[in-house]
Chain A
Amino acid sequence: MPHISKNNKILSLKNVYKTYLQGKNHIPVLRGITLTVRAGEMVSIMGSSGSGKSTLLNIIGLLDDYDQGEYLLNGTLMGKMNESKAARLRNRHLGFVFQSFHLIGFKTALENVALPLFFQKISRKKRNQKAMEYLDRLGMAQWANHLPNELSGGQKQRVAIARAMIADPSVILADEPTGALDSTTSLEVMKVFKEINAQGITLVVITHERDIAAMTDRIVFLQDGVIQTDE
């Protein structure tokens, strides 16, 4: 992917539709989403539970497919593609942070952070070195050899953020990253995100907390699968 300059449309969705099939019922979740995110932006997505926030983020993150419309990631159309190609794109260009951390329980913090580089077939030594560097950046160096269950919620999320950053993605997608954290820790995590954003990485954060959303450049409000406001 070519160098991403500011004001480039890094994410571009046009009229995206997504319907889930549950039994015989079609549940329309996204009903014509049109959204553009420029490189370097920090956007939050808000909306009530079930409004389709996660679905939207999963489509952006190439974890799910969409039924209709167009989605361009840095100018390239993301249509139907095989899983191997999607995996490669996720690995190189996207970072994920989840509400429930999604760390692998039997791997240490360091090994968790290094995982994306493992899938790039980078040698153990190099990837551990880089993982250590990122853990250090997030103030987690001394926890490198701990297992996730030995860490607090905030620490786990820091490890997850380090993991999301390690492969130098252009976009980091976070689905309620502070949802499982207390307010102080939440603010710390958001501060980390702001720092990351300051380095030029585009951020899309789902949240249902006003004060968290207020820390971003732009708030997209979703309701019943359509964008209500975009401010």
Chain B
Amino acid sequence: MELLIFNKDTWQEIVYTIRQNRMRSLMTVFGVFWGIFMLIILIGTGKGLQNGAYSSFESYATNSFFIWARNTTKPYKGFGIGKKFNFTNDDTRVLRTTVPQIKALGPRSRIRGETGFNNVVYKDKTATLTIYGDEPEIRDINLMEITKGRFINRLDIEQKRKVAVIGLESLPLLFTGGQDPIGRYIRISGVEFQVVGVFRLPNKNDDRYEENSKAVFLPLSSFQQTFNWGEIVGWYSVNVKSGYDAEQVKKKVRQILARRHHVAPNDIRAFGSWNMAAEFKKMSDLFTGIRFLIWFVGIFSLLAGIIGISNIMLIVVKERTGEIGIKRALGATPVSIMSQLIFETLILTSLPGYIGLVMGVGVLEIIDRILVFLRTDTQMFENPQVDFYAALATLAVLTLGGVIAGIIPAFRAVQMKPVDALRQ
């Protein structure tokens, strides 16, 4: 048997159907096209916004938090409010040994580069750069790429080595074209440090990219010595083992630190903190919601289109009752009449739907090209796309919808006796 799709009669009837109700069919067919097109655009836009938003988190392990010391806001153990306190190397040791939920603890200190400060010098060149004191663990929290040499290691910390890892972006400020910085000595606040590595930040969408991509990393111990910080630690970056709630671990860390520094147990505001995990979850929840909304709206507009097609087919069946009667008199079985009608409906839905899908993906591609071309540093929107499965799901919904839309008209078509159909 000739397959319906290769059959000239099938296509003849589809063309005839459209011609017979030109305006109505074109509007309905356009409805399906538009439904799919918009669904794809919405999915792509949602994905683009999501990519944009997620990318600002890309420089960090998301299951992490930061905690720093502020001034006390409650009197405790004879101290008044406003007591200053600092984290110390002892705190680091205690936290590392007593909180098993911590995957990596990064004690950090920082001196921010301020304009005109010119704190870093190489030969006759000077630059104003932010200086970090860090331990190797920081690499489990702040994601960076070492493009040359190495990062700070345990021995650097233990031996308070005067070594530095500098940002790829800061190289042009200190070294003339193409000079290999590794092994050279730079002066930071009058102290010489040997460059042992160069890093690069992977994510330009980070708020702090401008500053941090030009930073200098020193071993925390050397930092404390050079800048006379003693045992002081600026803040902790903490990566929590997966499966543990960052908020709970943060609470525990805060309790330990409060006890050690004689801060009232309920003096929450004595600590500053930022829970990356919670922020990330908030955002991923938001995007889950957006995605749900998009599919909800999309499916319903698609459904409206499919119902429209079904209606058109009902009208077609009604108008062609006589013709169906003729065919039945000549020997068309109900099954063949029905399958022809269902196939027609399927074509009327899936063809415009498929075009909508292709055009939607095309438009997203063009938007993406334009974004890349403009090199917008906007964090809002990035790489709008429809993944393969979403496209597949859309096609499945469409096909299923087309078949369902055809079923009622098809049944209607063979409901009558041939003689009654012929009488029309």
Residue of A nearest to B418 (CB): A63
Contact A63 B417 (CB under 8 A): yes
Does B322 lie at the interface of the complex (its beta carbon under 8 Å from any beta carbon of A)? yes
A87 at interface, CB cutoff 8 A? yes
B-side contacts of A120, CB under 8 Å: 331
Partner of B330, one of A84, A90, A106, A121: A90
Q: Contact partner of A83 among B8, B16, B330, B414, CB < 8 A?
A: B414
A90 near B2 with CB under 8 A, answer: no
Chain A stretch 104-149: residues in CB contact (< 8 A) with chain B: 104-107, 111, 115-116, 118-121, 123-124
> Given the complex of chains A and B, what is the CA–CA distance between A113 and B114 in angstroms?
92
- Asked if B160 is at the interface of the complex by the 8 Å CB criterion, the answer is no
Query: Of residues 1 to 40 in B, which have CB atoms within 8 Å of A's CB atoms?
Result: 1-2, 8-9, 12-13, 16
Q: Please, how many residues of chain A have a CB less than 8 angstroms from a CB on the other chain?
A: 32
CB of B358 within 8 Å of the partner chain = no
What residues of chain A lie closer than 8 Å to B367, measured between beta carbons?
none
The answer to whether B333 touches A88 (Cβ under 8 A) is yes
Judge whether B392 is part of the interface by a CB distance below 8 angstroms.
no
A64 & B2 in contact (Cβ 8 Å cutoff)? no
A106 vs B13: C-alpha distance when bound (angstroms): 8
- Knowing A104-B323, A121-B2 are in contact, say whether A115-B330 is a contact too (CB < 8 A): yes
The answer to whether A119 and B336 touch (CB under 8 A), given A91-B330, A102-B322, is yes
Are A83 and B12 neighbours in the complex by a CB distance under 8 Å?
A: no
Contact A64 B330 (CB under 8 A): no
List residues 63-103 of chain A with CB under 8 A from any CB of chain B: 63-65, 83-84, 86-88, 90-92, 96, 98, 102-103
A206 to B304, CA, bound (A): 49
- Provide the A52-72 mask, 1 if CB < 8 A to any CB of B, else 0: 000000100101110000000
With A58-B419, A63-B418 known as contacts, the answer to whether A84 contacts B2 (CB < 8 A) is no
The total of Cβ contacts below 8 Å across the A-B interface reads: 71
**Contact between B331 and A92 (Cβ–Cβ < 8 Å)?**
yes
Asked if A222 is at the interface of the complex by the 8 Å CB criterion, the answer is: no
The 0/1 profile, CB within 8 Å of A marked 1, for residues 322-344 of chain B is: 11011111111111100000000
Residue in B closest to A57 when the chains form the complex, CB atoms: B419
Return chain A residues, CB-CB under 8 Å to B104. none
Q: Measured between C-beta atoms, what is the minimum distance from A145 to chain B in Å?
A: 14
Instruction: Look across to chain B and name the residue whose beta carbon is closest to the beta carbon of A89.
Output: B331
Determine whether the beta carbon of A87 is less than 8 Å from that of B331: yes
When the two chains form their complex, are residues B334 and A90 in contact, meaning their CB atoms are under 8 A apart? no
Contact present for A83 and B322 (CB under 8 Å):
no
Which of these, A102, A106, A118, contacts B326 with CB under 8 Å?
A102
In the bound assembly, the distance between CA atoms of A163 and B325 in angstroms comes to 15
Interface pair A87/B422, CB less than 8 Å apart:
no
B329 → chain A closest CB, angstroms: 5
- Tell me whether A167 is interfacial, beta carbon within 8 Å: yes
Given contacts A104-B326, A121-B1, contact A83 B419 (CB under 8 A): no
Point out the residues of chain A lying under 8 angstroms from B8, CB to CB.
124
Report B144 CB to chain A, min CB distance, Å: 69
Docked pose: A127 CA to B374 CA in angstroms: 61
Task: Give Cα A92–Cα B330 distance, bound, in whole angstroms.
Answer: 9
For chain A, residues 36 to 62, give those with C-beta under 8 angstroms from any C-beta of chain B. Answer: 58, 61
Query: How far is B243's CA from A2's CA once the two chains are assembled, in angstroms?
Result: 81
Contact A63 B329 (CB under 8 A): yes
Across the interface, do A84 and B334 meet the contact criterion of CB distance under 8 Å? yes
Question: Shortest beta-carbon distance, B294 to chain A, in Å?
Answer: 41
Q: How far is the CB of B347 from chain A (nearest CB, A)?
A: 17
A80 CA to B16 CA in the complex, in Å? Answer: 35
Q: Give every chain B residue within 8 A of A118 (Cβ-Cβ).
A: 9
Give CA–CA (A140, B128) in the complex, Å: 97
Q: Report the separation of the CA atoms of residues A125 and B336 in the bound assembly, to the nearest whole angstrom.
A: 20
Chain B residue nearest to A167 (CB atoms) is B331
A96, B329: Cβ atoms closer than 8 Å = yes
By Cβ-Cβ distance, the 4 closest A-B pairs, closest first, are: A91-B331, A119-B331, A63-B419, A64-B419
Given contacts A90-B330, A107-B12, 9 further A-B contacts (CB under 8 A): A58-B419, A63-B418, A90-B328, A90-B329, A92-B331, A104-B326, A111-B9, A119-B330, A120-B331
A–B Cβ pairs within 8 angstroms, 7 of them: A64-B418, A83-B334, A119-B330, A119-B331, A121-B1, A121-B2, A163-B330
